[in-house]
Amino acid sequence: MRFLGSALVSFLVLAGKVLTKSSSGDSVLVLLDPSLSRANYSIFFGGLEQQGYDLTFRAPKHASPAIAEYGVPNYSHVILFTPDTKSYAPDVTPQSLVGLLSENTNLLIALSPRQTPLTSLATEFSLILPPPGTPLLSHHPKRPEPANVIPVSVSESPILTPDTNPVWFSGVPHALGNSPYLVPILRAPSESFAADSTDDSGSGTILSASDKGGEGFWAGSHIGLVTGFQTTKNSRAVFAGGVELFSDEYAKKALPSGQRSGNAQFARDVAAWVFQETLTLRIDRTEHHRVNETAAPEMYTINDQIVYTAYISAYDRKTSSWKPYSGITDMQLEFTMLDPHVRIALPPVSGEPGKYEVQFRAPDRHGVFKLVVGWRRKGYSFLHTTTTVPVVPLRHDQYPRFLSAAWPYYAGAISTSVGFFLFSALWLAGDVKGEKKNLKGVKSE
Amino acid sequence: MPTAYPLPKDLSPAIVTNTASLLRIIALGLISGAAIASRLFAVVNFESIIHEFDPWFNYRATRVLASKGFYEFWNWFDPTAWYPLGRVVGGTIYPGLMATSGVIYNLLHALHLPVDIRNICVLLAPGFSALTAWATYMFTKELKDESAGLLAAAFIGIVPGYISRSVAGSYDNEAIAIFLLMFTFFCWIKALKQGSAFFGTIAAVFYFYMVAAWGGYVFITNMIPLHALVLLLMGRFSSRLYVAYSTWYAIGTLASMQVPFVGFQPVRTSEHMAALGEHSSSMYQLIFIHLTLTGVFGLLQIVAFAQLVRSHVSSKQFQELLVSAVISAGVMGFFAIVALTYKGWIAPWTGRFYSLWDTGYAKKYIPIIASVSEHQPTAWPSFFMDLHFLIFLFPAGVVMCFRALRDEHVFVIIYAVMASYFAGVMVRLMLTLTPVVCVASAVAMSSLLDTYLDPKEPDTDEQKGRSALVGTTSASIGTSATAAPVAAPKKTKKTKEKEAPVAPGGVLGDLVSGVASSAAAAVQASETASTSKSTKGIFGLDTRFAVIMNTIGLLLFFVLHCTWVTSSAYSSPSVVLASTSPDGSQHIIDDFREAYYWLRQNTAEDAVVMSWWDYGYQIAGMADRPTLVDNNTWNNTHIATVGKAMSSPEEVAYPILRKHDVSYVLVIFGGLIGYSGDDLNKFLWMVRIAQGVWPDEIQEPNYFNKGEYRVDDRASPTMRESLMYKMSYYRFADLFGAQQPMDRVRGQQVPAKGPTLDYLGEHSVGFRCRGNVSNSSSADEAFTSENWIVRIYEVKKDDILGRDLKIANAFSEGKKRKRSKPVSRRKAIRGW
């Protein structure tokens, strides 16, 4: 069934009708260790090329073609199938690879049980590797293959095609640190563990390690084999515990159950994610305005009814284009000044794909507010947008003119006016005698 | 009539009068010219530029007013101030100054004179100083005569105490406020003298103008009622007082409530001053009580009523009854005020009010007030510096006011006493003392000159043909001290001491007699004195010559002193600094404008700049960038937040900076060229203000090493970790190479290994900023001005991998990280 599906896909690709490409670019640099035969990875690389990717191969020690020139990366994606390489050309260092990520270049990295510069790079991504030379071992299920070649069943993940067959894995596991940017893709089987020898002579050490309380004990399903990482700039990296995962050998190898292995599909899915083909979202634009208006005002007044709209697209790999996307149901909008004053759901508008809209009342507080949409889900591109809008108090002519609470003052003003009028009238119309008397009074001071 | 020197006989009185008036006009014109010219040192020495801090805000506000019109200005909400709180400018300023400039600007443009608004702002203060001289002339003329008026005008025109606030470019509220103050007082005196509702109204109108222009209006608010109260207590109630005060009070109070910033404060606040008053420009916490304002008004009504009743009833006992009734009413009113304050209906006295009485109060409880240098108690030398010989003549003038003691003299006496006290409490209140010093000194000096210029020889009976120059008051001074009936005719002495009239005994007698007798009696006494025979006086020309020469010498030195002080001390824009090299050549230090211009050109328009609040207005005015805090300090917590960020370690400060969207941090550092007004010297105030809000996190003693404020090797760890210290000395040591770096302000040697910054500096994670081997790129200041006075740092963005910036920096510098262990999720199950 799966085979049929992938065969269909390759047929379509071969037919040249549909090219599925990445949203961030087609050029791929592959750093391939000389010890690895390119022919053994023909399914993976061939698949990428058929999709339209432009693959450039290079040995890790060769200086050209350069990854980056004048600080600008030359490739959109870099694959490092150099699990055992100890020394690289000077332009490949852990620092420069992190630099590539900050320039929105994606990385697909294969690790191995050997200690290499990539091991220390993995540490920066909050992956914790076991001591050198401790591959993942498992004795279950019973199979003719050695203990370090393990069929791993694939758990549900938005990254992977559903119902992918178990994959063959051989390599090093890693524990996951507490970075929120990690996206676990493939977990180790619960009965597997990392140890430095394939025979059972070291089992006593493992037992005592587990007795100590699990600390430093790489075992069980909480450790990862293939783990993605999405940076705050939405560039992606994948660390795979072994490069054989992507090989033709494993792709063709039958599982102990007799099924065909899911490696080819898995490798394809992982590459699709890391090359930003799938689960790639973006905010096209945001709009905000007062209710019943269309243009965004320079500033809002307190208690205004504000309408906020966001247009979100997802990348469609089939057509290589961005399509409106209404699938997010848990997005929120915050109206923030130091702290969120308003935090409400920003739901999709039914009937208008890609449009999310909400109306809310500005708080009774002036200041410089930010309209913040922050949506972070594992595997998906992070959506984040900030719009700064000042909220101002009422203008001098916007206050209510007449207050019922002020009646005492109105009454006072009116009565004083009337009194003054009456007094003036009496004073002016009064008899002259009284006036003279009064004048005298003043003079006598 | 024997005269000391011959007088022309054939002059008609009309010629004398006309010549005198012409001379007066010429003199006033020259005084105005001198007043304006002496304020132009700043423009000549530097350029036509707005000075200092507050004027920059006023200038910015005026530009808004000029370009957008008055209504937009009134409703102006400035989103760039107090980010992110914003500032309702229209409701939190005294708009009088901006409105004045706006009117002048529009007037000139209506006349097709396209004058730049900046030049109007720069030259407004000198222009108004000429008007001040005229207002002082009018005021003093009411007090004595025209010659005293001219002297007073000349004094106020060039006295440093006033120039310090009104040089060209010092575009602050005080620039127009002193004119308004003097003119309001003149109108009040005029209204009181004539019992004129017209002048009362004019006084109220100018009072309104004053309220709209300056927070110091409380000085008038309290002076006039106090004057009325004192007159009342002296038994000088008259219908003139009643008319003048009632007119002024009713119109003035109603008008003052129309200023949005003042609003209902006239009837609500005890001290009649907002708790959120503008700090430096208007924090004129003068004075006593609002109680006087309304209280005196009420009292006047009662007394007027009582007078009315008395005129009808005419019973002596009734009067006594009335007095006791008035007193008990006053006491009851007092208790009512206390009760209202207690209940919270009337705002209780705020800190600034207390700080006027107890000079140590502010430092203990409200550091934000004490941190302003203008609010420190005045040092004695500055009295001489600002007033020169006027400070010696001032008491003499006050004593002469006691001798005449008409209503207006009582006013001057009260003014002198109050202003003297407050000038002693706060440096900046010297400004309110200056006018009364000029007036009183002018009275004294003009009396002296009158006496010694008067050609009349004393031993004659004739009193006709007195010089027009001699007024009644001077006559009373020139002749016998305490009126003829009391003083027995003594043998004439050759008075070599020129201050004979101010001999102590005479003064005391005057005081007693003056207080005892009513104003009318006093005037009468002086009249009789002038007409009575005089047997003592000045004989011959030699005495006259000596004294006059002496006086002229004093005046000359006064002019020299004023010119010197003005040119050297008060004409620095403080935005541009000048230093003089040993050979006398001047070197201009323009770091501030350099840095602000850098900000303007190189940063995003909405990039928020954090600095200590002193520089907020300048950044807004010159760099046009949003600031966290500025010189309008209405929100103590916000300032304390900045203080906390400055005095905390980087990792504590960083979240604060990020929360407030701060992009750049600006510090002033004078350690390289010895500019002592830098942030490290203000640092303890930041600590104190932050401590006031977060006493658990910031503690002042932690910044000291055994009670010493140090920046060198012995600086306390808290001090060395603080953001302010780090930003000040970041890469400072590099400048000195192998030598020991030296801070020229503190006079201390700072450590050769400077602090490092992780959370500020150049954005380092970016690929393009770094080579393959990243060296020292982790933190560079964004900008440092030529003389290192202004240093600007960029706040880094979050790491793209979500790491702590310290770790990220260590990584990009290639440091090995310690191997981490996986987080223990569960205990292994035993016994499987």
State what percent of residues in chain B have pLDDT above 70.
76
Question: Which residues, 6 or more positions from A314, have their beta carbon under 8 angstroms from its beta carbon?
Answer: A280, A281, A322, A323, A324, A325, A327
Q: What is the number of other CB atoms lying within 10 angstroms of the CB of residue A189?
A: 19
Query: pLDDT, tens digit, for every residue of B89-133?
Result: 877 888 899 999 999 999 999 999 999 999 999 999 999 999 999
8 A C-beta contact, residue A76 and residue A236: no
d(Cα A187, Cα A220) in Å, to the nearest integer? 9
Q: Kindly tell me if the per-residue pLDDT of B786 is higher than 70.
A: yes
- Contact across the interface for B772 and A90, Cβ inside 8 Å: yes
Burial of B360 per CB tally in 10 Å (0-12, 13-18, 19+):
exposed
- Give chain B's largest Cα–Cα span: 136
Q: What is the mean pLDDT of residues B483-491?
A: 37
Those residues whose C-beta lies under 8 Å from the C-beta of residue A15, and which sit 6 or more positions away, are none
* Binding-face residues of B in 89-108 toward A, CB within 8 A: 90-91
Residue A226: partners with Cβ closer than 8 Å, 6 or more residues away? A185, A186, A238, A239, A240, A241, A245, A270
Among all residues of chain A, which has the CA nearest to that of B832?
A207
Predicted pLDDT of residue B739: 81
Query: Tell me, what's the pLDDT at A205?
Result: 66
Residue B410 is assigned to a structural domain of this protein: no
Given A123, A213, A367, which is nearest B827 (Cβ)? A213
* B376 backbone φψ class: left, alpha, beta (φ>0; ψ -120 to 50): beta
- Give B 587-626 residues with CB within 8 A of chain A: 606, 626
In the numeric block, which tokens belong to residue A423? 């007094």
Chain B residues whose CB is inside 8 A of the A95 CB are 770, 772, 774, 811-812, 814
Residues shown for chain B: 832
Band the pLDDT of B737: cuts 50, 70, 90.
confident
Portion 468-507 of B in contact with A at CB < 8 A: none
Asked if B814's CB is within 8 angstroms of A95's CB, the reply is yes
Taking the Cβ of residue A417 and every Cβ of chain B, the question of whether any pair is shorter than 8 Å is answered with: no
Q: Is residue B392 part of a domain?
A: no
Put simply, whether B820 touches A (Cβ < 8 Å) is: yes
- Collapsing DSSP to helix, strand or coil, B245 comes out as helix
B768 inside 8 A of chain A by CB: yes
B472 assigned to some structural domain: no
**Where in chain A are the domains?**
27-275, 281-392
CATH class of A27-275: alpha beta
| C-alpha closest to that of B356 among B304, B442, B421 | B421
Chain A nearest C-alpha distance from B660 (Å):
7
Distances (CA, A) of B12 to B8, B9, B15, B467, B505: 10, 9, 5, 13, 42
* d(C-alpha B227, C-alpha B412), whole Å: 9
Tens digit of pLDDT for each residue in B712-736? 888 888 888 889 988 888 888 888 8
Is residue B190 a part of any domain in this protein?
Answer: no
Tokens of A270: 């992982």
- Residue linked to tokens 């307190």: A302
Of B802, B819, B825, the CB nearest to A222: B825
Q: What distance in Å separates the CA atoms of residue A74 and residue B229, rounded to the nearest whole number?
A: 87
Q: Which of A95, A368, A445 sits opposite B84 (nearest CB)?
A: A368
Domain spanning A281-392: CATH 2.60.40.1930: yes
Q: Which residue of B has its CA nearest to A131?
A: B819
A396 and B74 within 8 Å at the Cβ level: the answer is: yes
User: For residue B435, is the peptide bond before it cis, meaning its omega torsion is within 30 degrees of 0?
Assistant: no
CB-CB contact of B257 with B191 (8 Å): no
pLDDT at B485: 38
Q: Look up residue A244 and give its DSSP letter.
A: G
Helix (H) / strand (E) element for B218: namely helix B217-233
- Taking 60 as the threshold, does the pLDDT of residue B660 lie above it? yes
Chain B neighbours among A 236-295 (CB < 8 Å)?
Answer: none
Determine the number of helices (DSSP H) and then strands (DSSP E) in chain B: 36, 10
8 Å CB contact between B638 and B628: yes
| A72 in contact with chain B, both atoms CB, cutoff 8 A | yes
Q: How far is Cα of residue A162 from the mean position of the Cα atoms in its chain?
A: 21
Q: Which residues, other chains included, contact B750 with Cβ-Cβ below 8 Å and sequence gap of 6+?
A: B671, B711, B712, B729, B732, B733, B741, B742, B743
Comparing CA positions, the residue from A320, A308, A318, A325 lying closest to residue A380 is A325
Cis peptide before A256 (omega within 30 of 0): no
Bigger pLDDT: B34 or B800?
Answer: B34
Range of lowest pLDDT (A37-46, B74-83, B302-311, B608-617): B302-311
Nearest CB to A95 within list B803, B811, B817: B811
- B753 close contact with A: CB closer than 8 A: no
Q: Is residue B641 part of a domain?
A: yes
* pLDDT for res B235: 82
Whether the Cβ atoms of residue B276 and residue B92 lie closer than 8 Å to each other: yes
Query: CB distance from A320 to chain B under 8 Å?
Result: no
pLDDT number for residue B685: 86
**B529-540 exposure pattern, b = at least 16 Cβ within 10 A, e = fewer:** bbebebebbbee
Can you read off the two tokens belonging to residue B215?
């927070």
Q: From CA B143, how far away is CA B152, in angstroms rounded? A: 11
Query: Distance between CA atoms of B335 and B337, rounded to whole angstroms?
Result: 5
Residue A96 to residue B772, Cβ atoms within 8 A: yes
| Cα–Cα distance measured from residue B786 to residue B50, given in angstroms and rounded to the nearest whole number | 22
Pairing of strands A367-375, B783-784: unpaired
Which residue is closest to B824 within chain A, CA to CA? A215
Which structure tokens are listed for B293?
A: 């304002």
Mean pLDDT of B644-663: 90
Q: Is residue B653 part of a domain?
A: yes
Q: Which residues of B touch A231 (CB under 8 A)?
A: 800-802
Does A217 contact chain B (CB < 8 Å)? Answer: yes
Number of domains in chain B: 1
**What is the C-alpha separation between B275 and B259, in angstroms, rounded?**
16
Higher pLDDT: B772 or B677? It is B677
pLDDT exceeds 70 at position B543: yes
pLDDT of residue B215: 80
Using alpha carbons, list the distances in angstroms from residue B227 to A434, B297, B410, B411, B551: 33, 12, 7, 6, 33
In angstroms, the CA B689 to CA B233 distance is 45
**Smallest CA–CA separation between A49 and chain B, in Å?**
28
Distance CA B261, CA B78 (A): 16
Return d(Cα A106, Cα A237) in angstroms, integer: 6
Rounded to the nearest angstrom, the minimum Cα separation between A2 and chain B is 35
Peptide bond into B485 cis (omega under 30): no
Q: How near does any CA of chain A get to the CA of B825, in Å? A: 8
> Of how many residues is chain A composed?
445
| Residue with the larger pLDDT of the pair A4 and B383 | B383
Which ipTM value was assigned to this complex?
A: 0.82
Question: A residues 356-375 near B, CB within 8 Å?
Answer: 366-370
Judged by CB atoms within 8 Å, which residues 4-63 of A form the interface with B? none
Chain B residues lying within 8 Å of A90, measured CB to CB: 772
Q: How far apart are CA A105 and CA A97, in angstroms?
A: 9
What value does the CA radius of gyration of chain B take, rounded to a whole number of Å?
Answer: 32
Residues of A in contact with B801 (CB under 8 A): 98, 101, 124-126, 179, 181, 229, 231-232
Tokens linked to A231: 């940076």
CA distance B820 to chain A (A): 7
Residue B304, domain member (yes or no): no
Query: What's the gap in Å between the CA of B239 and the closest CA on chain A?
Result: 7
Element containing residue A50 per DSSP (H, E):
helix A42-51
**Which residues from chain B sit within 8 angstroms of residue A126, using beta carbons?**
801-803
Of B88, B90, B824, the CB nearest to A366: B88
- Residue-wise pLDDT for A140-178, tens only, equals 778 888 888 899 989 888 888 888 889 999 999 998 888
pLDDT band at B270 (very low <50, low <70, confident <90, very high): very low
B800 vs A contacts (CB less than 8 Å): 98, 101-102, 231-233, 235
Residue B24's alpha-carbon distances to B21, B27, B30, B179, in angstroms, are: 5, 5, 10, 20
Residue B675 lies in a domain: yes
Determine whether the interchain pair B817/A123 forms a contact, defined as Cβ–Cβ distance below 8 Å: yes
When mean pLDDT is compared across A127-141, A300-314, B159-173, B178-192, the lowest value belongs to A127-141
Whole domain around residue B735: which residue ranges?
590-763+778-813
Distance CA A408, CA B306 (A): 29
Domain with residue B668: its CATH number is 3.40.50.12610
On whether the CB atoms of residues B367 and B139 are closer than 8 A, the answer is no
From chain A, the residues in CB contact with B83 under 8 A are 368
pLDDT of A212: 60
Please give, rounded to a whole number of angstroms, the shortest distance from the CA of B822 to a CA of chain A. 6
Q: Which residues of A touch B774 (CB under 8 A)?
A: 95
For residues B795 and A73, give the distance between their C-alpha atoms in angstroms, rounded to a whole number.
25
Q: Does B767 touch chain A (CB under 8 A)?
A: yes
Kind and range of the H or E run holding B247:
helix B239-256
B75 to chain A: nearest residue by CA? Answer: A395
